[in-house]
Structure 1
């Protein structure tokens, strides 16, 4: 992240995650080796996204202090955790609703419609969500040059007062 920048690394990892997730949709049940391969590719590229996001939270905390003169670490981290927990809950709810709407029945042979819904749930739907995040990240303006200026200004401010 130091050489390429957090935003560029986040965008690249997100885009490669979208491609690896989308590819799952086109696999047949007999292509188990490709499923394992794509899972490894997905894990490799999606892995850095969450640590990068938390690193960007700290940039937002520094930006807020620089802009408003108050450090609000607890507020921003607790808001982030609250959003994460609600996101996990909403994601679980949507997944269960989609399974219910598709007619999923545990411990039984699934209909072709249910199998199609399962393929969507593990491939194109999360790829679509990741693609949305990819586009939203273009609004993130705290690149390395901006953060270097902010950190220098905060350091000077702390030394003087």
Structure 2
């Protein structure tokens, strides 16, 4: 499992799809370094990274941060469509469960395959940033570039991005 994740990271670096960015892989989550600070200790689905979820099941995420701030969670579906699961949610330092809130939840839906999910953490509110700028249809390299574009107004010392994923069966 770790070998596959490391191989994928090396492929991305070798292909040059991240240009000046670097990828550092930490178990169990991949941390995407877009010139970021290390505010996120861990981010993973409730059952753990690379776990299985079946269509119709609910999924939540555990996020652990070193300080309080704001998080936007974005999913890249197996078909390449990116959608925002939660936007600009305030989190206290420590562990937070992100589950869609008391009146809604995240329900696993097709297409089946590997679901990539990123937590974008900033120390200041993201209200001024365009939520729509990270939604759309992307390949892996385009998604990295779009997240970098989304974070452009945020100073390097005020942000962090971590990726995790799970299988939709």
TM-score range normalised by the length of the shorter chain: under 0.3
Larger radius of gyration: 1
Higher strand share: 2
Larger relative contact order (CA 8 Å, sep ≥ 6):
1
Higher helix share: 1
Give the TM-score normalised by structure 2: 0.23
